[in-house]
């Protein structure tokens, strides 16, 4: 930290891996628009044993403004947590980044629910058989491959 630097502290409880990923995405998005991490102590993680178990707290220390001076870190953090901000700021660079992360999460959830398929070749013909196909459907597809 240099004399005169203003900092923004981002502190969050991390209860799940999804929480950890969300905070990493937020910090990644901030750095992508030019918000720098503090030189001395950009990241600190504490774990406290409490009656109910373990409490994990992460702290990110960032500069208060982006390098270019256009973006205030605290306002961007607030925007990250605002579900309608991206619709009100369609052309903002941070909106693009936030939307990209949201889309990646949605696509990942959609892909995860889909069953993979087996590709079975017989000469120049092939069959795509879903792994979750019933035995009857699997046999039907394989029989069609033989014709």
Stronger pLDDT, 4 or 9, i.e. the higher one = 9
Q: Does the pLDDT at position 5 exceed 80?
A: no
The domain locations on the chain are 7-113, 117-146
What is the per-residue pLDDT across 17-73, written as a single tens digit (0 to 9) for each?
999 999 999 999 999 999 999 999 999 999 999 888 899 999 999 999 999 999 999
What confidence score (pLDDT) does residue 78 get?
98
What is the per-residue pLDDT across 86-138, written as a single tens digit (0 to 9) for each?
999 999 999 999 999 999 999 999 999 998 999 999 889 999 999 999 999 99
What confidence score (pLDDT) does residue 137 get?
92
What confidence score (pLDDT) does residue 79 get?
98
What confidence score (pLDDT) does residue 1 get?
60
Kindly state the DSSP code that residue 67 receives in the 8-state scheme: T
What confidence score (pLDDT) does residue 2 get?
67
């Amino acid at each position: 930290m240099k004399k005169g630097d203003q900092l923004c502290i981002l502190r969050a409880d991390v209860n799940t891996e999804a929480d950890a990923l969300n905070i990493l995405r937020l910090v990644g998005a901030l750095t992508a628009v030019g918000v720098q991490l503090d030189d001395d102590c950009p990241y600190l993680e504490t774990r406290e044993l409490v009656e109910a178990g373990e409490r994990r707290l992460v702290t990110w220390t960032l500069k208060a403004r982006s390098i270019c001076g256009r973006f205030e870190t605290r306002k961007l953090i607030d925007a990250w947590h605002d579900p309608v901000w991206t619709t009100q700021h369609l052309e903002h660079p941070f909106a693009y980044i936030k939307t990209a992360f949201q889309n990646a999460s949605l696509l990942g959830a959609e892909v995860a629910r889909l069953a993979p398929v087996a590709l079975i070749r017989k000469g120049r013909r092939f069959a795509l058989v879903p792994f979750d196909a019933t035995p009857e459907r699997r046999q039907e597809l394989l029989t069609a491959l033989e014709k």
